[in-house]
Amino acid sequence: MTNEMPVIRVAVPLPIREGLDYLWAGPGPTPLPGCRVLVPVARKSHTGIVLEHPATSPVGLDKLKRATTALDEEPLIGADLRETLVWCASYYHHPVGEVLSAALPALLRRGRAAVPAPEIRWQLTAAGRETDTTALARRARRQAALLEQLATIDTAAESDLREAGYTRAQLATLEDKGWLARAATAPRTRRETVEHEPGPVPALTDDQRDVLEAIAAAAPGYNAFLLHGVTGSGKTEVYMRLIAEQIQADQQSLLLVPEISLTPQLVGRLAQRFGARLAVMHSALTDTERLDAWQRCRNGDAGLIVGTRSAVFAPLHRPGLVIVDEEHDNSYKQAEGFRYSARDLAVYRAQRLGIPVVLGSATPSLESVHNAEQGRYHLLRMPHRIGSAGAPTVRIIDLNHHAVRNGISTPLLSAIEQHLASSNQVMLFLNRRGFAPVLFCPDCGVAEDCQRCDSRMTIHSASGRLRCHHCGAERALKWACASCGAERIAVGAGTQRVSEELRALYPNVVIGRLDRDATSRRGSLESVLADLESGKTQILVGTQMLAKGHDFPNVTLVGVLNADQGLFGTDFRSNERLVQTIIQVAGRAGRADRPGEVLIQSHFPSHPLFDCLLAQDYVRFAQIGLAERRAADWPPFSHLVLWRANAVQRAAAFEYLHRLARAARALGTEIGVHGPAPASMERRSGRYRAQVLLQCARRGPLHAVVDELLVQARGWPEARKVRWAIDVDPTEL
């Protein structure tokens, strides 16, 4: 009885590594892979996505539960994207259902009906045309007939083929065999009726023209380009020309950017150029807006999809091009849950789709530089800034020889005054928000700590609060010491303190602040940036939010208040991060025709990192950095998997990881097993955190060991007392 019902394997958004099997017992045809179905798990109903139709189930057919409700007639997630997501689940060792649901807008995850995708048209591939249909007809008569029928025409609409009696499953089978492909459909006209005036398009610079020619000259299909263009060299214009060509050819482009909310300018420029063909996907949208952007991507209405990290899973209808702007940016790495790298996945997707990918940055990641050196990426350079200003001059202020008040040295103060006197604007960069990082009692010699983390409470004087920047804990700011009653002092300076100091010094100057505290209200970020753009703000003090692609031609001085914070980091990437941030912030100085000046305050002016910064030679920095990585056997010269665990009891985290490390060592000698070791901030939000680092020269054996460890660890009693997570290609150790 039951074995007449087909088996469907379903990805359910629960922490279960594989798909779950069900018997399809609903009305209508078996839901196709990529369709949502409601399935029972432990007496609760969940919205899952069909992965495949296995011939049978290892669980045993008589034990399978039944599924009866399908939410879609057509796959929501097409074959290409589905396979990519399944690959992601195995590469990142993450539960497949959580991975698939990460690719859907929230409303669809919750069961909302999707607008049908546009009509699909089918055509033969070269392989399909060469297939011997006579031989095929002996095994699969209908398939052979379909191939013959299509051989006489260019493309056929799916509805016509269905009317002629071919099923979706037959079409899907032929697609899987590589004999059939979806043809590009005609563009949808709804939005095109809106006339759009793209505004002036500038004549290309020589650098831009060379880059565009090199990209055009490459063979069609997958190619990866690393566009290393200094800040202000006009990378965005290059992207826009490439996107316009794709739109001309009726193909879609996917442009990934680090944080859209930080770059309203960029979205403005794209909207100006592409009008209603633009769709934007990011986390600040409402659920309805997200669903709309997703549908416009899927139905081909959008010619350009701009989005942050998760847009790498956009359901492209006619994919033509992928671009990753600021490809070095750490926000492409998802830090929680499904820990993927959108930059790496963008390259993977382009490769699968057989389309070009462009990775752009003024400070490309060492991994990408290495890929270019190895010939895997084509390196393209734009070494010149647009306009007559040229590169800014960079100098270091030796803090050992100059007085500092609340974070600002005397030479920097006089430079600020000079630049303001010539009606220019100033940016000051300090990677620390709040008033001061430490509240210290000079009598007891004690600083106020967070009770749940290994960290200090940061003083936020404006709100009269102390805040932990790691767990969010808050309490009232009391200057009197609780133990001795002495008046405590604020040590160090954050962005708040620096702005207050400047306001006291220059009461007539307008001073703005750009950090997460100053921009937490909706619309406040836009107004901070607008005040700078209009010239109202004369000095802007900010965190690394300053580093993101803003273009303000009247900013001529950039001060880096504390470069030393990152100089002696413990992570093998800390130098790279520091240099990238400083170069990006410095890149805000001097645009168009006003030359810029960059002043970096440091107690260690002879630190070798500053040589490259002063010479503004990122390429040399990258070469030195790669040589160091090679010598120490760090990525990209080895591959890493970080296995993290945390628990309320310190011993529980370590017992679990000790067992894991032993098991890993027992599995072979090719894998380096380091640890367990405490995480860089061991206690956070009341939990102790530790980790084991697995390292290998080759990916294959590393992933095999992780898979084997996952199987073994399932039965360990030690695993019950911890939360654990696997971080493949970790960016922070």
Binding site for ligand ADP (CB under 6 A): 202-205, 208, 229, 231-237, 386, 551
Q: Which stretch binds Zn ion (CB under 5 A): 131-139, 207-215, 463-471, 710-718?
A: 463-471
Among Zn ion, ligand ADP, none, residue 412 binds (CB under 5-8 Å by kind) = none
Give the shortest CB-681-to-Zn ion separation in angstroms: 9
Nearest to residue 253, comparing CAs of 325, 157, 181, 339? Answer: 325
Nearest to residue 649, comparing CAs of 718, 709, 714? Answer: 718
Give the shortest CB-308-to-ligand ADP separation in angstroms: 17
Among Zn ion, ligand ADP, none, residue 233 binds (CB under 5-8 Å by kind) = ligand ADP
> What single-letter amino acid sits at 646?
N
**In this structure, are residues 98 and 15 in contact, taking their beta carbons and an 8 Å threshold?**
yes
> Cα separation of 556 and 275, whole Å?
32
Smaller CB separation from ligand ADP, 591 or 644: 591
**In this structure, are residues 320 and 215 in contact, taking their beta carbons and an 8 Å threshold?**
no
Residue 233's Cα: distance from chain center in Å?
23
DSSP state of 212: H
Length in residues, the chain:
733
Among Zn ion, ligand ADP, none, residue 470 binds (CB under 5-8 Å by kind) = Zn ion
**x-marked contacts with Zn ion along 397-436 as a string, rule CB under 5 A:** ----------------------------------------
**In this structure, are residues 383 and 390 in contact, taking their beta carbons and an 8 Å threshold?**
no
**From the list 38, 107, 136, 473, which residue makes contact with Zn ion (rule: CB under 5 A)?**
473
Give the shortest CB-302-to-ligand ADP separation in angstroms: 22
Q: Binding to Zn ion by residue 244, rule CB under 5 A?
A: no
Give the shortest CB-388-to-ligand ADP separation in angstroms: 11
Q: Which stretch binds Zn ion (CB under 5 A): 128-136, 448-456, 544-552, 669-677?
A: 448-456
Give the shortest CB-211-to-ligand ADP separation in angstroms: 11
- 3-class state of residue 546 by DSSP: helix
Q: Binding to Zn ion by residue 498, rule CB under 5 A?
A: no
Smaller CB separation from Zn ion, 279 or 450: 450
Give the shortest CB-232-to-ligand ADP separation in angstroms: 5
Among ligand ADP, Zn ion, none, residue 468 binds (CB under 5-8 Å by kind) = Zn ion
Query: Residue 393 burial by CB count (10 A; 0-12/13-18/19+): exposed, middle or buried?
Result: middle
Give the shortest CB-461-to-ligand ADP separation in angstroms: 36
Q: Binding to Zn ion by residue 447, rule CB under 5 A?
A: no
Among Zn ion, ligand ADP, none, residue 510 binds (CB under 5-8 Å by kind) = none
> Cα separation of 258 and 306, whole Å?
10
Smaller CB separation from ligand ADP, 558 or 702: 558
Nearest to residue 343, comparing CAs of 361, 363, 328, 362? Answer: 328
**From the list 70, 312, 391, 468, which residue makes contact with Zn ion (rule: CB under 5 A)?**
468
**In this structure, are residues 24 and 112 in contact, taking their beta carbons and an 8 Å threshold?**
no
Among Zn ion, ligand ADP, none, residue 137 binds (CB under 5-8 Å by kind) = none
**From the list 168, 188, 378, 452, which residue makes contact with Zn ion (rule: CB under 5 A)?**
452
Among Zn ion, ligand ADP, none, residue 494 binds (CB under 5-8 Å by kind) = none
Among ligand ADP, Zn ion, none, residue 235 binds (CB under 5-8 Å by kind) = ligand ADP
Query: How many residues at the interface with Zn ion, by CB under 5 A?
Result: 7
Among ligand ADP, Zn ion, none, residue 450 binds (CB under 5-8 Å by kind) = Zn ion
Give the shortest CB-276-to-ligand ADP separation in angstroms: 22
Smaller CB separation from ligand ADP, 233 or 308: 233
Q: Which of residues 61-80 bind Zn ion (CB under 5 A)?
A: none
Smaller CB separation from ligand ADP, 372 or 583: 583
Smaller CB separation from Zn ion, 142 or 723: 723
- 3-class state of residue 91 by DSSP: helix
**In this structure, are residues 680 and 452 in contact, taking their beta carbons and an 8 Å threshold?**
no
Chain position carrying tokens 């892979």: 33
**From the list 471, 624, 677, 725, which residue makes contact with Zn ion (rule: CB under 5 A)?**
471
Q: Helix H segments across 278-389?
A: 287-298, 342-353, 366-373
Q: Kindly report the three-state secondary structure assignment for every residue of 499-529.
A: HHHHHHHCCCCCEEEECCCCCCCCCHHHHHH
**In this structure, are residues 544 and 331 in contact, taking their beta carbons and an 8 Å threshold?**
no
The encoded tokens of residue 102 equal: 């990460």
Among ligand ADP, Zn ion, none, residue 205 binds (CB under 5-8 Å by kind) = ligand ADP
Q: Binding to Zn ion by residue 450, rule CB under 5 A?
A: yes
Q: Which residues contact 609 (CB under 8 A, 6 or more apart)?
A: 567, 575, 578, 579, 621
The neighbouring-strand residues paired with 229 are: 382
**From the list 17, 470, 650, 674, which residue makes contact with Zn ion (rule: CB under 5 A)?**
470
> Cα separation of 157 and 65, whole Å?
36
Smaller CB separation from ligand ADP, 96 or 362: 362
> What single-letter amino acid sits at 386?
I
Smaller CB separation from Zn ion, 107 or 446: 446
Among Zn ion, ligand ADP, none, residue 473 binds (CB under 5-8 Å by kind) = Zn ion
Chain position carrying tokens 């665990």: 645
| Residues 620-642: b if buried by 16+ CB within 10 A, e if exposed | ebbebbbeebeeeebbbebbbbb
E-assigned strand segments in 194-342: 224-229, 252-256, 278-281, 304-307, 319-324
**In this structure, are residues 37 and 71 in contact, taking their beta carbons and an 8 Å threshold?**
yes
Chain contacts with Zn ion (rule: CB under 5 A): 450, 452-453, 468, 470-471, 473
